[in-house]
Amino acid sequence: MGNQKPSIPKGTRDFGPEEMAKRNYIFNTIKEVYALYGFQQIETPAMETLKTLMGKYGEEGDKLLFKVLNSGDYLSKVSDEELAERNCLRLASCLCEKGLRYDLTVPFARYVVMHRDELQLPFKRYQIQPVWRADRPQKGRYREFYQCDADVVGSDSLLNEVELMQIIDTVFQRLGIRVQIKINNRKILTGIAEVIGEADKIVDITVAIDKLDKIGLDNVNEELRNNGLSEEAIEKLQPIISLSGTNDEKLNVIADVLQSSEVGVKGVEETRFILDCLKTCDLKNEMQLDLTLARGLNYYTGAIFEVKALDTPMGSITGGGRYDNLTGIFGMPGLSGVGISFGADRIYDVLNTLDLYPKEAVTTTELLFINFGECETAYCLPLVTKARQAGIRTEMYPDKAKMKKQMSYANAKGIAFVALAGENEMAEGKLTLKNMKTGEQKLVSIDELIREVK
């Protein structure tokens, strides 16, 4: 080693005390709201068997799995021929039988299949854990990051969607972030593609429509032409491209365009049900029907949602949707679900940018006892205990250091009050309490001190 500086792997981070306090504030807020709605927390191991992970994320995903070498003599099962061939994937399958989880959804599906007999359906679970991806690290993209998911499986009812929108609304209300919750439905998108006869162009269409504000109607139509859409198809799309008005007005236009598509009509009905229910639920943030929303198209089968912060530019800070077949990948078909995922890292950045962390969420110690020496410490220790018993976060400075040093420790940690006891205070059975903000000092009993600090 020598005196080389230690480092951490690319794409990972340390979280210091202040960052942890802020992260915990986010996670605790989300947990409290989940609990209000009857969601229960589970955790799954960091490692899963490669059997569980491989083939679930597509070919790209398989390459981005961190694989864990078998313990012991991991070369024992590999022949010299195989070694000489240097075929990475083949070798990996001989050397590794475990990998780090890539998301929380596949482990959740595995969990549901393994525990199906003891689960009460519908099963409402949430899970807040790190996941690992062997991606090229770049700004805002890490190799280890936290996901914060909630899912309801085993119920087709749209009331689950309604509830998840209320959860999103409540979480951001508590965090003080003004958001817009966007909603769309995969069935509407399928219906549009069906009606214009361009089933494989659905992404091209949503991408083009999304540019309406930036480039104007003529250019959107030009882009659709360049994507190979027929004039007839583009004609049919016009009312959909220039959708405006309230959610209800938009739905009426869409319903009109999609009346010949069974799946499209169903998508409109589902969306209308969700939005109508939410009108009675006292939401504080706006719900907006947005046809350009097309996340997870090979995954979601019903409603899709996304959340944008209104007061600072940032990508989606929460997203999710309804899927048909969570556990089918493990041979247990027919279990549909709906889920959301909060983007903790992005929410962290938004709260930082808008300076929305409440003081008490990030403060640590409230009261510091100054150390004047053995005799004074002996006098203070039971008082320190009393302060802690009263719920005050209290420290006793451990060393008999210069007063200036102890005071600058208090300032550096942002400690609001300092308690001092020298000969005079001890003789009177009292303490001097100094307010570090105002600088004022007063002589108090321990009970007065507790009242003052609280």
User: For 299-321, how does the pLDDT look when each residue is reduced to its tens digit (9 = 90+)?
Assistant: 899 999 999 999 999 889 999 99
Tell me, yes or no, whether 349 and 433 share the same domain. Answer: no
Residue 4 lies in a domain: no
Tell me, yes or no, whether 56 and 34 share the same domain. Answer: no
Instruction: Give the Å distances, CA to CA, from 282 to 171, 278, 435.
Output: 14, 7, 42
What residues make up the domain containing 304? 17-45+100-353
Mean pLDDT for the chain overall: 94
As a whole number of angstroms, the distance between CA 355 and CA 361 comes to 12
Residue 362's pLDDT band, with cuts at 50, 70 and 90, is confident
Domain termination residue (choose one: 293, 324, 353): 353
CATH of residue 193's domain is 3.30.930.10
Position 199 pLDDT exceeds 80 = no
Mean pLDDT for the stretch of residues 86-112: 92
Count up the domains in the chain and report the number: 3
As a whole number of angstroms, the distance between CA 184 and CA 279 comes to 17
Position 298 pLDDT exceeds 90 = no
Residue 339 has which token pair?
A: 């889920």
Tell me, yes or no, whether 115 and 165 share the same domain. Answer: yes
Position 427 pLDDT exceeds 80 = yes
Instruction: Give the Å distances, CA to CA, from 3 to 6, 371.
Output: 9, 36
Tell me, yes or no, whether 249 and 123 share the same domain. Answer: yes
As a whole number of angstroms, the distance between CA 63 and CA 328 comes to 22
Lowest-pLDDT range of 5-19, 132-146, 403-417: 132-146
Confirm if 151 and 161 have CB atoms less than 8 A apart. no
CATH of residue 404's domain is 3.40.50.800
Position 162 pLDDT exceeds 70 = yes
φ, ψ (nearest 5 deg) of residue 329: -60, -20
- Taking CA 74 as the corner, what is the angle to CA 68 and CA 80, rounded to the nearest 5 degrees? 125
DSSP codes joined into one string, 358-388: -HHHH---SEEE----HHHHHHHHHHHHHHH
Residue 1 is predicted with a pLDDT of 57
As a whole number of angstroms, the distance between CA 196 and CA 232 comes to 8
Position 153 pLDDT exceeds 60 = yes
Domain termination residue (choose one: 329, 353, 377): 353
Mean pLDDT for the stretch of residues 54-76: 91
Mean pLDDT for the stretch of residues 365-387: 97
* Helix 186-196 × helix 231-241 angle, to 10°: 150
Residue 140 is predicted with a pLDDT of 77
Residue 358 lies in a domain: no
Tell me, yes or no, whether 194 and 242 share the same domain. Answer: yes
As a whole number of angstroms, the distance between CA 150 and CA 322 comes to 12
Strand partners of residue 427: none
As a whole number of angstroms, the distance between CA 297 and CA 186 comes to 7
Residue 251's pLDDT band, with cuts at 50, 70 and 90, is very high
Residue 3 lies in a domain: no
As a whole number of angstroms, the distance between CA 86 and CA 88 comes to 6
Tell me, yes or no, whether 80 and 136 share the same domain. Answer: no
Residue 390 lies in a domain: yes
φ, ψ (nearest 5 deg) of residue 326: -65, -50
Domain termination residue (choose one: 99, 130, 163): 99
Residue 54 has which token pair?
A: 């491989």
Residue 2's pLDDT band, with cuts at 50, 70 and 90, is low
Lowest-pLDDT range of 333-337, 351-355, 373-377: 333-337
Residue 186's pLDDT band, with cuts at 50, 70 and 90, is very high
Residue 77's pLDDT band, with cuts at 50, 70 and 90, is confident
Instruction: Give the Å distances, CA to CA, from 285 to 166, 223, 304, 308, 370.
Output: 10, 33, 17, 11, 48
Confirm if 103 and 48 have CB atoms less than 8 A apart. no
Tell me, yes or no, whether 383 and 435 share the same domain. Answer: yes
Residue at token pair 């990051």: 145
Helix residue spans in 258-395 (DSSP H): 262-279, 344-353, 359-362, 374-389
Tell me, yes or no, whether 390 and 254 share the same domain. Answer: no
The proportion of the chain whose per-residue pLDDT surpasses 90, expressed as a percent, equals 78
Lowest-pLDDT range of 107-121, 188-202, 439-453: 188-202
Tell me, yes or no, whether 210 and 341 share the same domain. Answer: yes
Confirm if 176 and 166 have CB atoms less than 8 A apart. no
As a whole number of angstroms, the distance between CA 384 and CA 382 comes to 5
Position 244 pLDDT exceeds 70 = yes
Position 110 pLDDT exceeds 80 = yes
Position 204 pLDDT exceeds 90 = no
**Can you list the positions of beta strands (E) in 194-311?**
286-289, 303-309
Residue 12 lies in a domain: no
Residue 252 is predicted with a pLDDT of 96
As a whole number of angstroms, the distance between CA 234 and CA 43 comes to 48
Query: Within 10 A of 86 (CB to CB), how many other CB atoms are there?
Result: 8
DSSP codes joined into one string, 414-437: T--EEEE--HHHHHHT-EEEEETT
Tell me, yes or no, whether 299 and 235 share the same domain. Answer: yes
Residue 6 lies in a domain: no
Residue 52 is predicted with a pLDDT of 96
Tell me, yes or no, whether 110 and 230 share the same domain. Answer: yes
Tell me, yes or no, whether 288 and 324 share the same domain. Answer: yes
Residue 182 lies in a domain: yes
φ, ψ (nearest 5 deg) of residue 91: -60, -45
Residue 438 lies in a domain: yes
pTM of the model: 0.90
